[in-house]
Amino acid sequence: MNQRFSSKKTISTKDVFHCRWQAPSNIALVKYWGKTEPQLPKNASISFTLSSTVTQTEVRFIPLAAPTETVQFSIIFEGEEKLSFRPKLEAFFARMLPYQPFLTQYKLEIVSQNTFPHSSGIASSASSMAALAACLVDFEANISELDDSIRQEKISFLSRLGSGSACRSIQGPMMAWGTHNEIADSSDEAAVPVTEIDSVFKDYCDTILLIDKGEKQVSSTLGHQLMHNHPYAQQRFDQANKHLAELLEVLKQGDLEGFINIVEKEALHLHAMMMTSDPYFILMHANTLKAIESIWAFRKKTGIPVCFTLDAGANVHVLYPSNVLTQVKAFIDEALRPLCQEQQCVHDIVGMGIKKY
Ligand code: DP6
């Protein structure tokens, strides 16, 4: 139990509290892959906070006549009651309850939606857990003396208990999570904003190529577990921490060549871990590889600093500075869209994290 995030004395209320928060997705540049209980990362990671791929969540906190053992909630997602979301939410509430014990006195009505295409294969656990945690902390601030200076950090801390990468969606333009000796105040329990970055990275673009819009064959949660007895686990964790140290310098300098080198290596190392797990698996598709080859050929031919990263799936994130947006969009339309399911991609840009809507 981390005392820093425990809740202060609350006032009891008979009023219904209602709030609405939205949180964006994020894309890791140095990847989190491998964790220990309770959702503590085996290495530090860093990501761009995005802006258009968001989850919007509203919660009604309805006082109960008598407190219950566990958190009572209902969940409506995109207009439908989602029983399939309950196990993940139940696990989240069980983990976070010691930090907001007053929740047993309320029933939570959660209504949520994503702004990105439904079933797009874009991971939504980060944005949805971050938006929910923002609502929970808003409620806490309403019924207790929550110190303003700890508010953002507590949202990050709680969202981590729902999904590790969610803790990096709270602020922008970049957040780092995991103890790292070159990041002041870094912690395994919550992410911190990374602000010492060249202006080129403050409006970086990310076009997500929807190569496969279906359910992933292997969930991230299972993938993380397979790092436990992985033959290259320790090398991977050390490598990620080294990559992060190098990337911090690259971000300060605005060194695009260095950025491309580290970001593409990280994406391939992540997938190399999957291919060398036991059981082994491959999440890339033939069109994932075709997109990577096409990006490399375009970069070589034009000198335009466009690169790729991957999350735990077949989709490709195409990353580029905003001053080459026109040329890169034309390239995407011509060469990369045909590789996507129904020619679909999602254009996004670096953003600043959670907000009320
Ligand atoms: C490949 O945060 O989705 O996207 O903590 O089990 O919810 P859980 O996993 P999750 O894992 C994300 C893995 C990744 C890399 C990253 O975002 O750093």
Give residue limits of the domains in the chain. 3-197, 201-349
Q: What is the Cα–Cα distance from 127 to 117, expressed in whole angstroms?
A: 14
Is the domain spanning 3-197 CATH 3.30.230.10? The answer is yes
Question: Of 189, 156, 152, which Cα lies nearest the Cα of 44?
Answer: 189
Q: Is 36 in the pocket of ligand 1 (CB under 6 A)?
A: no
Q: What is the CA radius of gyration of the chain?
A: 20
> CATH code for 201-349?
3.30.70.890
- From first to last of its 357 residues, what are the pLDDT tens digits of the chain? 888 888 877 777 789 999 999 999 999 999 999 999 999 999 999 999 999 999 999 999 999 999 999 999 999 999 999 998 999 999 999 999 999 999 999 999 999 999 987 666 676 899 999 999 999 999 999 999 888 889 999 999 999 999 999 999 999 999 999 999 999 999 999 999 999 999 999 999 999 999 988 777 788 889 999 999 999 999 999 999 999 999 999 999 999 999 999 999 999 999 999 999 999 999 999 999 999 999 999 999 999 999 999 999 999 999 999 999 999 999 999 999 999 999 999 999 999 999 999
Q: How far is the CA of 311 from the centre of ligand 1 (A)?
A: 8
Task: Indicate whether residue 102 lines ligand 1 (CB < 6 A).
Answer: no
Percent helix, strand, coil in the chain, to 5, is 45, 25, 35
Sheet holding 205-209, edge to edge: 307-310, 316-320, 205-209, 345-349
Task: Please report the atom of ligand 1 found closest to the CA of residue 32.
Answer: 18
Q: Which of 40, 208, 220 to mutate to test the pocket of ligand 1 (most atoms within 8 A of CB)?
A: 220
Report whether residue 28 contacts ligand 1, using a CB cutoff of 6 Å.
Answer: yes
Q: How far is the CA of 264 from the centre of ligand 1 (A)?
A: 17
Phi, psi of 53 (to 5 degrees): -85, 90
Distance from Cα 268 to the centre of ligand 1, integer Å:
15
Is there an atom of ligand 1 within 6 Å of 221 CB? yes
Q: Which two tokens stand for residue 226?
A: 């397979």
DSSP assignment, residue 178? S
Angle at 94 between CA 138 and CA 132, to 5 degrees: 30
Q: How far is the CA of 220 from the centre of ligand 1 (A)?
A: 6
Q: What three-state secondary structure class fits 201?
A: helix
Can you tell me which atom of ligand 1 is nearest the CA of 163? 7
CA separation for the pair 76, 56 (Å, rounded): 12
Q: Which uninterrupted H or E stretch holds 234?
A: helix 233-253
Q: 128 CB under 6 A from ligand 1?
A: no
Is the CB of 48 within 6 Å of ligand 1?
Answer: no
